[in-house]
Structures are given as structure tokens and as C-alpha cells.
């Protein structure tokens, strides 16, 4: 499970470098997210722009990644492809996660300022 | 531009022949993934358009993963047989396994999504059958000769 994690002024950016978050990798995804987000504070942005398929196990793993954060921490999603957006919409998880069209939009106008 | 002969032949067959696709796979998560990737490649030639492909893939993923996780969760790993048939604007999928029967001998009923007040109460599972019921036109289950037979009909729009 390839997750690329970088720190930015707006918070932590985790880019999923896989085309699928499915039953075959759901547990790996959840565990890697725990490793990457444990002990962090502030915003966490998950870039899903390279993911074209999420099934219910993958969705459950993304929800689990949210639940293992500190109570005041947010997990935001960016770059949902059409099939992935549909899964979030049907299950109403689009009401649980803040969803942005792209990382650039989520980061805001000062994203590149250091 | 004239179509190459192979494509023309395939198209004619797809339009008139109501083609059938069959495959058998071991009940394992990686094999389910491989089967879905193969279907995503092969279904367009059966007349399934790109807009419907994601829905077909998601419904089959949920049904196949349920078999891997529940029907075959105890005992030896088995096989899953999958048959897809396009009938005009519908895709009929028949999925057969030799694992344990569905609890209560029936499919899980359609339920509303749970209501949650706090994110600690968010469900991490249970989305699968919700999505299946939400996306299919019809759904049936029978237990025959030690086999689970699930049949779903999907609209191809």
C-alpha cells in the first residue's frame, strides 16, 4: 500500500498512490494510516485522485482512519474520481468527511507559502 | 473509417448475440480483485458502457467479497463461479459458491443506513449490502444441492 505523506503549512497531506482501496488492501490501508497519523495534530488531507475504485471494505477502512484520530482532528478528502464519489454519496459518508475537488482547492490560496 | 474485421464481428455479436461471460475464481481477496479487473476490460465488448461499468464492478465486488469473508470464512477455501449475461439493456449476473448458506437461509434484508450522532459511533462495516440493494434492479438467492446461488439484475441504462 503506497501512501505518500508530506507536511505542508495547511497540515499533513497523504496521497494514495494506488488505483484501488478494496477488500484486498483495506486492513493494510487502515494500519498504514494509523502509523502516519499517530501523534500528529491538525488537518489531514487524503488525496484520492489516483484511486478509481473503493468498495465497502475500503470505505470502512477510510472511516476507521478517521475514528483512530484524536477527537479534534479532521480527515478531509480531495480529488474523488466519479466512482469513488458515488460510493461516498450513496452511503452518505460525504456528510461525514469534508470533500474538496482537489488538493489545491483544499489547501487554499496560500498553500505554497512557506 | 471502416472498423477492423475483428471489432466489427465483436460489435455485431454484442448487439445481436446477447453474449455470456463465465469465469471461475478461487475465493480469495486478490483473486476477486483480478476477476474485477478482467471484467472491467472485457465488459465493454459485451456492450456495457463506461457509465455502467463502475456500478457493475462495485456490486460484483460486494457480492464476491461477501462470499470470501462469510460463505468460505471457515473450512477450506473454495471456488466461485460467475456468469454474466447481457440481455438488451440489462446485465444478469449469477454467482455460485459451495460455502456455508446465508444466515437464516435468506439474503440480508434492505435496511436504512444507521444514524450516528458521534464519529466514534460511525460504522466501519455493513455498507456492502446497503450498496448492493441500492444499485441492483432485482436480487434473489437460493440454496441448491449445497450451493449458494445469487442472481442479480443490473440496468445498463
Residue A113 lies in a domain: no
B30 touches chain A (CB under 8 A): yes
Residue B29 lies in a domain: yes
Is residue B17 predicted with pLDDT exceeding 80?
no
Residue A114 lies in a domain: no
The three three-digit cell numbers of residue B30, written as one number:
486478490
Instruction: Please report which confidence band the pLDDT of residue A110 belongs to, taking 50, 70 and 90 as the band edges.
Output: low
For B56, the domain range is: 19-155
- pLDDT given for residue A113 in this prediction: 44
Residue B35 lies in a domain: yes
Q: Which of A10-14, A20-24, B121-125, B141-145 has the lowest mean pLDDT?
A: B121-125
* B65·A56 Cβ contact <8 A: yes
Is residue B1 predicted with pLDDT exceeding 90?
no
CB A111 within 8 A of CB A104: yes
**Total domains present in chain A:** 1
Question: d(Cα A36, Cα A73) in Å, to the nearest integer?
Answer: 14
B55: left (phi over 0), alpha (psi -120 to 50) or beta: alpha
Residue B8 lies in a domain: no
Residue B142 lies in a domain: yes
A74 touches chain B (CB under 8 A): no
pLDDT digits (tens, 9 = 90+) for B118-154: 888 888 888 999 999 999 999 999 999 999 999 999 9
ipTM for the complex? 0.91
Q: Which of B27-31, B91-95, B109-113 has the lowest mean pLDDT?
A: B109-113
Q: What's the mean per-residue pLDDT of chain B?
A: 88
- pLDDT given for residue B124 in this prediction: 86
Instruction: Name the nearest CA neighbour of A59 among A84, A82, A81, A83.
Output: A84
* A56·B30 Cβ contact <8 A: no
B120 touches chain A (CB under 8 A): yes
Residue B94 lies in a domain: yes
Which chain B residues are Cβ-neighbours of A23 within 8 angstroms?
29, 32-33, 61, 65, 68-69
Residue A112 lies in a domain: no
- pLDDT given for residue B126 in this prediction: 85
For A61, the domain range is: 3-107
Instruction: Please report which confidence band the pLDDT of residue A33 belongs to, taking 50, 70 and 90 as the band edges.
Output: very high
The domain that contains B101 carries what CATH number? 3.30.565.10
How many CB atoms are located within 10 Å of the residue B23 CB?
14
Residue B137 lies in a domain: yes
Instruction: Please report which confidence band the pLDDT of residue A84 belongs to, taking 50, 70 and 90 as the band edges.
Output: very high
Average pLDDT over residues A52-58: 97
Nearest C-alpha of chain B: how many angstroms from A69? 10
* A23·B58 Cβ contact <8 A: no
**Total domains present in chain B:** 1
Residue B4 lies in a domain: no
Q: Bigger pLDDT: B116 or B10?
A: B116
- pLDDT given for residue B12 in this prediction: 45
Average pLDDT over residues B1-8: 52
- pLDDT given for residue B7 in this prediction: 53
The domain that contains A74 carries what CATH number? 3.30.750.24
Residue B14 lies in a domain: no
Residues composing chain B: 157
Query: Chain A residue with minimal CA distance to B119?
Result: A67
Instruction: Name the nearest CA neighbour of A73 among A112, A26, A38, A35.
Output: A38
Nearest C-alpha of chain B: how many angstroms from A44? 16
Nearest C-alpha of chain A: how many angstroms from B94? 20
Question: d(Cα B42, Cα B10) in Å, to the nearest integer?
Answer: 11
Amino acid at each position: 500500500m503506497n501512501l505518500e505523506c508530506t507536511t505542508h503549512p495547511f497540515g499533513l497531506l497523504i496521497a494514495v498512490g494506488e488505483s484501488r482501496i478494496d477488500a484486498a488492501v483495506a486492513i493494510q490501508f487502515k494500519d498504514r494510516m494509523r502509523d502516519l497519523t499517530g501523534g500528529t495534530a491538525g488537518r489531514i488531507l487524503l488525496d484520492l485522485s489516483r484511486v478509481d475504485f473503493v468498495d465497502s471494505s475500503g470505505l470502512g477502512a477510510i472511516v476507521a482512519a478517521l475514528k483512530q484520530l484524536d477527537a479534534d482532528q479532521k480527515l478531509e478528502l480531495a480529488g474523488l474520481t466519479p466512482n469513488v464519489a458515488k460510493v461516498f454519496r450513496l452511503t452518505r459518508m460525504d456528510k461525514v468527511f469534508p470533500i474538496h475537488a482537489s488538493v489545491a482547492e483544499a489547501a487554499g490560496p496560500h498553500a505554497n507559502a512557506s | 473509417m471502416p472498423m477492423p474485421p475483428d471489432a466489427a464481428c465483436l460489435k455485431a455479436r454484442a448487439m445481436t448475440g446477447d453474449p455470456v461471460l463465465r469465469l471461475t475464481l478461487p475465493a480469495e481477496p486478490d483473486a476477486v480483485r483480478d476477476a474485477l479487473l478482467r471484467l472491467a476490460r472485457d465488459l465493454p465488448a459485451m456492450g456495457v458502457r463506461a457509465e455502467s461499468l463502475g456500478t457493475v464492478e462495485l456490486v460484483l465486488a460486494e457480492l464476491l467479497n461477501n462470499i470470501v469473508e462469510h460463505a468460505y470464512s471457515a473450512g477450506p477455501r473454495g471456488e466461485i463461479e460467475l456468469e454474466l449475461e447481457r440481455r438488451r439493456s440489462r446485465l444478469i449476473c449469477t454467482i455460485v459458491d459451495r460455502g456455508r448458506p446465508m444466515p437464516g437461509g435468506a439474503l440480508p434484508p434492505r435496511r436504512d443506513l444507521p444514524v450516528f450522532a458521534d464519529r466514534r459511533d460511525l460504522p466501519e462495516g455493513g455498507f456492502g449490502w446497503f450498496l448492493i440493494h441500492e444499485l441492483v434492479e432485482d436480487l434473489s438467492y437460493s440454496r441448491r444441492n449445497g450451493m449458494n446461488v445469487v442472481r442479480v439484475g443490473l440496468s445498463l441504462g
